[in-house]
């Protein structure tokens, strides 16, 4: 699929600002900026850098944990501003003057015990992970190598249930996305939000917390107008974000629900689909 910068510009609100400090651009990572082998092209890197250098607020908005988003921020040279992690439950303030270049500015947590017990009753062989904020994950059993970032510690299931969490992840590779949605309906999860990732994953977050809720908080904090926001993503955890933005763009391989939430659909990550969207903002 080919989406040109001209088509994108035609869909921008009439009062849309030129690329600069009055613009907020939210970008998903996996399937949008990098492919499933974690590769980012030079074209994507350079176009994001141009937008960054214009002074625009470029915000990575991802389901990744803090430790997994930091290398992408470094690769893109995003050292100032904000990042949204853990599907909106964790926000980072980026500043080279801070230790490590960032601080955790906002965290929303919930009691994971009821959700963990419900899910384990349904899937006793599932793998469970609870984010250990700023460090990595505590897990019920080892996950496949490389799937979780940071320190990964195997603990007793009771310990997983014992402390407030920003995110719970269930890994069950034999389930499809539809199976996960059916599971959520069957167990009647209440008081949480959920997002189905790649077919092996179900992420549970505090109720009402999404990428969109975090981005709206940051938008208000930095004083950017609602009609000066753009979001690009490819997954079901991007739906609220695409609906929130003045211009929401889905990647070509997004599922039907995600594409329906967007104003436009661009090419796949392998076609650098995000580039014409950013190019349109730079040339507006």
- Give residue-wise pLDDT tens across range 134-143: 889 999 999 9
pLDDT, position 50: 98
Q: How far is CA 215 from the centre of its chain?
A: 11
Contact 76, 59 (CB under 8 A): no
Which H helix or E strand runs over 59?
strand 57-61
- Most distant CA atoms of the chain, gap in Å: 56
Task: Please report the domains of the chain, with CATH numbers, ordered by start residue.
Answer: 5-107+210-283 (3.40.50.1000), 113-206 (3.30.1240.10)
- SS3 assignment, position 230: strand
Cα gap 85→72, rounded to integer Å: 12
CA–CA distance, 283 with 279 (Å, rounded to integer)? 6
Spatial separation of the C-alpha atoms in residues 42 and 248, rounded to whole Å: 23
Percent of the chain's residues with pLDDT above 90: 79
Between CA 183 and CA 189 the distance in angstroms is 9
pLDDT at position 181: 81
Average pLDDT on 78-103 reads 96
The pLDDT assigned to 184 comes to: 84
In the predicted structure, residue 40 carries a pLDDT above the cut 90 = yes
Average pLDDT score over the chain = 93
Nearest CA-CA partner of 245 in 269, 224, 266: 224
d(CA 273, CA 93): 27
> Which helix or strand (DSSP H or E) is residue 76 part of?
helix 66-76
**Average pLDDT rounded to a whole number, residues 231-249:** 96
pLDDT at 167 over 70: yes
pLDDT in tens, 96-135: 999 999 999 999 999 999 999 999 999 999 999 999 988 8
| DSSP secondary structure of 235-281 | SGGGHHHHHHSSEEEE-TTS-HHHHHHSSEE---GGGTTHHHHHHHH
Taking residues 60-80, report their average pLDDT.
95
Mean pLDDT of 243-248: 98
* Residue matched to tokens 């080892």: 142
Q: How many CB atoms lie within 10 A of CB 196?
A: 22
Query: In the prediction, which pLDDT does 36 show?
Result: 87
Helix axis angle for 177-187 and 113-122, nearest 10°, is 120
pLDDT of residue 53: 98
Res 198: pLDDT: 58
Across residues 34-39, what is the average pLDDT? Answer: 92
């Amino acid at each position: 699929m080919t989406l040109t910068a001209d088509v994108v510009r035609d869909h921008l609100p009439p009062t849309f600002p030129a690329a600069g400090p009055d613009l907020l651009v939210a970008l998903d990572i996996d399937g949008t900026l990098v492919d499933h082998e974690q590769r980012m092209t030079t074209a994507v890197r350079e176009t994001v850098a141009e937008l960054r250098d214009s002074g625009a607020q470029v915000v990575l908005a991802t389901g990744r944990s803090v430790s997994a988003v930091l290398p992408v921020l470094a690769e893109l040279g995003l050292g100032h501003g904000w990042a949204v992690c853990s599907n909106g439950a964790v926000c980072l303030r980026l500043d080279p003057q801070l230790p490590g270049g960032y601080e955790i500015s906002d965290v929303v947590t919930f009691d994971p015990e009821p959700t963990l017990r419900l899910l384990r009753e349904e899937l006793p062989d599932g793998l469970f992970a609870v984010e250990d904020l700023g460090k990595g994950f505590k897990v019920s059993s080892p996950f496949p190598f490389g799937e979780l970032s940071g320190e990964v510690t195997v603990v007793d299931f009771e310990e997983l249930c014992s402390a407030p969490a920003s995110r719970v992840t269930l890994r069950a590779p034999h389930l499809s996305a539809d199976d996960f949605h059916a599971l959520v309906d069957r167990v009647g999860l209440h008081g949480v939000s959920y997002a189905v990732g790649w077919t092996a994953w179900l992420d549970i977050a505090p109720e009402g917390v999404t990428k969109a809720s975090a981005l709206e908080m940051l938008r208000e904090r930095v004083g950017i107008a609602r009609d000066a926001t753009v979001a690009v993503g490819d997954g079901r955890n991007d739906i609220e974000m695409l609906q929130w933005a003045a211009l929401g763009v889905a990647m070509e391989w997004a599922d039907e629900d995600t594409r329906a939430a967007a104003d436009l659909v661009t090419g796949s990550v392998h076609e650098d689909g995000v580039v014409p969207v950013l190019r349109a903002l730079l040339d507006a």
